[in-house]
Amino acid sequence: MKLEKLYKKAIETGIKNDLRGKEEIKKTLAEEKEKHTKLKDDEVEYYDKDKLFNPFSDTRVLNGDLNTDVKKVIVGIDMEVGEILLTYILNKDLEQKIDLIISHHPEGYALAQLYDVMRLQADLLANYGITISVAEQLMQERISEIERRLMPVNHNRAVDVARVLGIPMMCVHTPADNCVTNYLKKTFEKEKPYKLKDVVNLLKGIPEYKKLAKLQVPPKIVSGSENNKCGKIFIDMTGGTEGSKEIFEKYVQSGVSTLVGMHISEEHLKNAKKAKLNVVVAGHISSDVLGLNLMFDEVEKEGKLEFVSVSGFERIRRNK
Ligand SMILES: [Fe+2]
Ligand SMILES: [Fe+2]
């Protein structure tokens, strides 16, 4: 499969699994096209053209020609200098013929603009009955905070190593996180867990969570107790990074009783507890791996790939 095909298929899968709905994304892309036509001459050279067809700012081809033939990929949750050097060694000394490095967490200019995908969180909150003005204003504050936090980062450090070694590299973040969010939402709607312990058991039945449970990182109830009823569940696993720390009261007001997330910071957890919200941490790496696997199941419909799995990843296929 050509690198371009793989990239486009990842985006298409991300859109298909996006809980904002296709119409909302169409509107976002149309707005972007409009913005592009109105760019001033001195702005054109700084414009990221992928925005015209890719609504996920944290998903980009970072190095290499789109025309590259991709048969074998090396995939990890974080693909940094060490993993890129490993790829070089595998190709050179072990003749592994790896065509492409795929990182889940964003690198390079996809990391620099990670904050932009966070806008989708406001729409997801609105779907759960949170007033859109409240959701948007709280998110805008948080987005600016993340934008400032990303400014001093040495974004291109890993990508520069891939460039010098001549290895194509990409990152796929929100499309995979959309896949896990949609999958768990559907699973919970179908299985209807009654108590928090049922959520934990349901998760442990999924291979990616089972594997991490064996590695001593099981899904965990961090607010509420195992016999608490789940009530309405919100899956908080996509949209770049953690949302507003002020949001937890609003969840409760809109009828949500339980949050299921990948991870939660101490400050966010403190506020969730204050709001009397149940919180289940499903697991960070396990959730990211599940999202990637679901996405690759779709990508591989275009052609089978060979996988080398590192940095927390393991390829588990659902449609064999
Ligand atoms: Fe993720
Ligand atoms: Fe992650």
Residue 244 has a pLDDT of 85
**pLDDT grade for 297, boundaries at 50, 70 and 90:** very high
On the question of pLDDT at 248 being above 90, the answer is yes
Neighbours of 225 (CB within 10 A): 10
Could you tell me the distance, in angstroms and rounded to a whole number, from the CA of residue 75 to the centre of ligand 1?
13
User: For residue 151, what is the DSSP state?
Assistant: T
pLDDT band at 79 (very low <50, low <70, confident <90, very high): very high
Ligand 1: distance of its center to the CA of 306 in Å?
Answer: 22
Span 210-237, mean pLDDT?
96
Tell whether the model's pLDDT for residue 298 goes beyond 70. Answer: yes
201: Cβ contacts below 8 Å, ≥ 6 apart: 193
Contacts of 310 (CB under 8 A, 6+ apart): 74, 75, 76, 79, 83, 86
CB atoms within 10 A of CB 285: 20
pLDDT confidence bin for 320, thresholds 50/70/90: low
Structure tokens given for 233: 């569940």
225 forms beta bridges with none
Rounded mean pLDDT, 263-289: 96
Cβ < 5 A residues, ion ligand 2: 288
Q: Which residue has the tokens 């520069």?
A: 160
Q: What is the mean pLDDT of residues 42-50?
A: 94
Ligand 1 centre to CA of 40 (Å) is 35
Mean pLDDT over 248-264 rounds to 94
60 CA to centre of ligand 1 in angstroms? 15
Give the mean pLDDT of 241-258.
Answer: 91
CA of 23 to the centre of ligand 2 (A): 26
Closest ligand (CA of 292):
1
Q: Which two tokens stand for residue 212?
A: 């991490």
Kindly state the average pLDDT of the residues 222-236: 96
CA-to-CA distance for 177 and 92, rounded, in angstroms? 33
CA distance 160 to 148: 23
> Residue 186's CB: how many other CB atoms inside 10 A?
12
Task: Specify the residue for token string 């396990």.
Answer: 286
**What's the pTM?**
0.95
Number of the ligand closest to the Cα of 285:
2
Distance CA 263, CA 284 (A): 6
Residue 256: count of CB within 10 angstroms of its CB? 22
**Across 111-115, 121-125, 186-190, 246-250, which has the greatest mean pLDDT?**
186-190
- How high is the pLDDT of residue 280? 98
197 has a pLDDT exceeding 70: yes
CA of 209 to the centre of ligand 1 (A): 14
Lowest mean per-residue pLDDT among 44-48, 51-55, 127-131, 213-217: 127-131
Q: For the chain, what is the mean pLDDT?
A: 95
Ligand 2 centre from 105 Cα, in Å?
6
Q: Measure 173 CA to ligand 1 centroid, in angstroms.
A: 6
**Ligand in nearest proximity to the CA of 312:** 2
| 150-172 pLDDT tens trace | 999 999 999 999 999 999 999 99
Let me know how long the chain is: 320
